Amino acid sequence: MFCSHCGKELDAGASFCKSCGRPQGRQQAAGVGGTPADSAVGLTRQDFLVIAGLVVLSLLLILIIAVT
């Protein structure tokens, strides 16, 4: 099994990831979808803020280019 957050391999029956410390909710059966690519990795708050900041900077750049 692999951590649903960071993708690191988990010990059998682990409730928490040793790497990132996140609790492991629904456990997958052994051998089913056992690769990190199969795990759903959501965006963290920090990821969201970085993306939002890049969008704002892009819009400002477009506005500056359009005005000049």
**Does residue 17 belong to any structural domain of this protein?**
no
Number of domains in the chain: 1
Q: CB of 24 within 8 A of CB of 39? A: no
For the segment 12-64, what is each residue's pLDDT rounded down to a tens digit? 888 888 888 888 875 444 444 555 554 556 778 888 899 999 999 999 999 99
56, two tokens: 């704002």
Q: Is 52 a member of any domain?
A: yes
Range of the domain at 60: 41-67
In contact, 34 and 4? CB cutoff 8 Å: no
Q: Flag whether 19 is in a domain.
A: no
Per the domain annotation, does 55 fall within a domain?
A: yes
Residue 16 falls inside a structural domain: no
For the chain, the maximum distance between any two Cα atoms, rounded to a whole number of angstroms, is 61
Q: Domain for residue 61, yes or no?
A: yes
Q: Does 4 fall in a domain?
A: no
Q: Is residue 63 part of a domain?
A: yes
